[in-house]
Structure 1
């Protein structure tokens, strides 16, 4: 009964579920063992006009990682790839001795231009400094981060097959906490 108003709204607006793959359940309460609850809470909806204009639209629901809800990627094929990589921040960086100096140098740079240009330029300076910081310490932190994240995702993929497996749930909690500390 709780879903009836939502379903009526979806129908009245002429929306439909976008074709999807990946995780069926898009949320869980992150509880241990038998207390864990799984649900599909996050539909991706589109109008029939959209689906007619972009028939290759597809959503991929990824493993949850550290989130409660499953991240979703909306793709419209053919897929054009952007060559620039976004800046990824690693908590580990803040424990390195050069971190504060790199951040201060990036933000204290005196630049000319419009406010948005200054912001983007300072972020680019910061990105370059953090990339060099990434090579300090015990090697490339993004590789370690990637390995830890792959471990977490592998456990979550196994959990899709065995959602009630208490050992896998415990492993997921431990791996998620370890990854979140990076």
Structure 2
């Protein structure tokens, strides 16, 4: 009788463990992995670290991370084909920006005539971490420039842009 009770208890524990694992897996499939979100721009400015600055919007927090900023580098990227302009070479400009206050970089892509989908990336070269933003660009107006969130980069960083199919490029590490 005691042996039967021990086997039943072990079987219940095993079933409970399997059900718990299945529920966890289904939750991950249904809702995706739990994202780690950065602190605020104010926290980044007060104590610049990867934990406080990565993926923070540089314009948030009353623009605290936009104080004492400059463009580190910029270069043209020429799309090979632009369906909106009959296949002409219409460039975009990719820029790498630095916030001295937040010790972080972000990337920006600006249309100089291009309309279509574009992605912009900023890479922290020390560990390969990056932030990316993608959206349909317009030649002028609100969507004529796209930018990434911050990446804390005490070392080298690079800005890149592409259309996820036919054109793309990265600037030099800065």
Query: 1 or 2, which has the higher helix percentage?
Result: 1
Which fold has the larger relative contact order, with Cα–Cα distance below 8 Å and residues 6 or more apart in sequence? Answer: 1
Computing the radius of gyration over CA atoms, which structure comes out larger, 1 or 2?
2
Q: Report the TM-score when normalising by structure 1.
A: 0.22
Q: Which has the higher strand share?
A: 2
